[in-house]
Amino acid sequence: MREISRLIATLLIWVSFTVVMTSSSSPLNSNGLSGGAAVIAIAFLAAAAGGSTLAVWVARPQETTQPPLEKAKRTRVGRFMDSLSDDEIAELRARLMADDAEPVALDDLLHAPEQGRRVNR
């Protein structure tokens, strides 16, 4: 999916470059800049398009950074797990595995009553 985004961005960069070069205010327009200035303007625009393309393809995704909210949740869960006794951890593992040895979502266990009582959050 990331490659498709890069491909679309590259396409937009070069389509924009082409539109600028073929528009009436283009440096190629004879009413605009003289020969040397037109070449410099075209080289500048091509370098900008090339640099943009390079930045799109070389950039690293920043998915490795953890959002503060997610980090706070992990900290709270860690503190909660540390506060459980060995018996409570064993009971939690047993309930997560359920009867047919298929994992059950923790959220389902927290919201579902078991023999008239709920697990405290």
Name the pLDDT band for 49 (thresholds 50, 70, 90).
very high
* Residue 100 forms part of a structural domain: yes
Is 28:40 a contact under the CB 8 Å cutoff?
Answer: no
Statement to judge: residues 73 and 41 lie in one domain: no
Which band of pLDDT confidence, cut at 50, 70 and 90, is reported for residue 15?
very high
pLDDT digits (tens, 9 = 90+) for 63-90: 555 567 777 777 887 888 888 888 888 8
Asked, for residue 118, whether it belongs to a domain, the answer is no
Q: Is the pLDDT of residue 108 over 80?
A: no
- Considering the domain architecture, whether residues 84 and 50 belong to the same structural domain is answered as no
Distance, CA of 95 to CA of 103 (rounded, Å) = 9
Out of 14, 29, 58, pick the residue that ends a domain. 58
Listed residues 14, 35, 58: the one ending a domain: 58
What pLDDT is stored for residue 51 in this prediction? 93
Query: Within a domain: residue 80?
Result: yes
Report the C-alpha dihedral over residues 36, 41, 44, 49, rounded to 10 degrees.
-130
- Give the list of residues 6+ apart from residue 81 with CB closer than 8 angstroms, or none: 89
Supply angle C-alpha 22, 28, 31, rounded to 5: 110
> pLDDT at position 23, please?
78
Does 10 reside within a domain? yes
Q: How many domains does the chain divide into? A: 2
Question: Domain containing 75: what range?
Answer: 68-111
Q: Is residue 25 within 8 Å of residue 32, measured between CB atoms?
A: yes
73 in the same domain as 54: no
Same domain for 7 and 52?
A: yes
Q: In terms of domains, do 52 and 87 share one?
A: no
Q: What residue has token string 């009413």?
A: 31
User: What whole-number percentage of the chain has pLDDT above 90?
Assistant: 17
Q: What is the pLDDT of residue 53?
A: 93
